[in-house]
Amino acid sequence: GGGLYKIKKFIKGNFFLINGDSFFDINLNLLSNFISDKKWIGCMAIANNKGYEKNDKMNNLLINKKNYIEYSKYKTNFMNGGVYFFKKNIFKFIKNKKISLEKDILNELILKKRIKGIYSPQYFIDMGTTQKLKSLKNNLDNLKEKVAFLDRDGVINKLKPYGYIENFKQFYFLPGVVKGIKFLNKQNYRVIVITNQACVGKGIINEKKLNNIHMKMTNNLKKINNSYIDDLFFSPYYRFSKIKKYRSNNVERKPNPGMFLKAINKWNVDIKKSFFIGDQLTDLEVSKKVGLRFYYKKNISFFEQLNQILKQ
């Protein structure tokens, strides 16, 4: 609490707060989804309690039907995960004195039903002791991510006949895509888009316009059902481009694996638990090079196809 008071003047808006001595593999997007609700002041990530009975963490928590955190009269398996999203008005409750964020500030706000909670089954460990830090280092597989890699055109959005998507007015989600991406979010898959976009190299649109299309795509997903794409990689290259920097790239453009290798390195991807959905032969070819399970996009709802894939 005292540390928060000291940085008060530097905080200009809503903010994330993360404990420095714990690891919780939760997607931060989940914590900020309640921003339109005026009553709440903060959202707390809730983790599984695996033997943390004798520490200062908040134990025996519940999340009610309106997503507010409550204390249970009985033992539960839920505890504070040490990751928060706060509105700036949290500072109304922080005084210039020795004060505990959990025991004083959060305890009061939970009793007043002003703190919401998001539960995640993701890996959690308190690294506050040498023994637990060593345990984390000896179990690095727990930190790997399972990823649903998706091609864009023909998988996420309808193909434009005889051309490229040049603006968001031409962008239409295919049936089941929005619901399917939300489903992947809930199943703790990272959603990463991998797409060839030679339209940039051909001079049809520039990178700024392409990024604008992708920004509106992600904004619409959030607006419709709070779903999200974790990352997006695109290859703008075309071998006959008039612009030299776009003329050739033997590493990134599919069926070459460059974009995948970047994503795998950045996100610490577990190849065995991940897959790729595409609609072109080049998508199949790059999957073989990387070692990913591959599925051609079927002529059915994207959500329905995902259900079939995850049941295998």
Which residues are catalytic, by number?
151, 153
∠ CA 183-185-191 to the nearest 5 degrees? 110
Q: Smallest Cα–Cα separation from 84: which of 22, 16, 34?
A: 16
CA distances from 297 to 84, 157, 278 (A): 38, 12, 6
Asked if residues 264 and 292 have their Cβ atoms less than 8 Å apart, the reply is no
Q: Smallest Cα–Cα separation from 276: which of 142, 152, 144?
A: 152
**Taking the alpha carbons of 39, 41, 47, 52 in that order, is the dihedral positive or negative?**
negative
| 45 Cβ contact partners less than 8 Å away, ≥ 6 residues apart | 24, 26, 30, 31, 80, 81, 82, 83, 84, 117, 118, 120
CB-CB neighbours of 43 under 10 Å: 26
Please measure the distance between the N-terminal and C-terminal CA atoms of the chain and give it in whole angstroms: 48
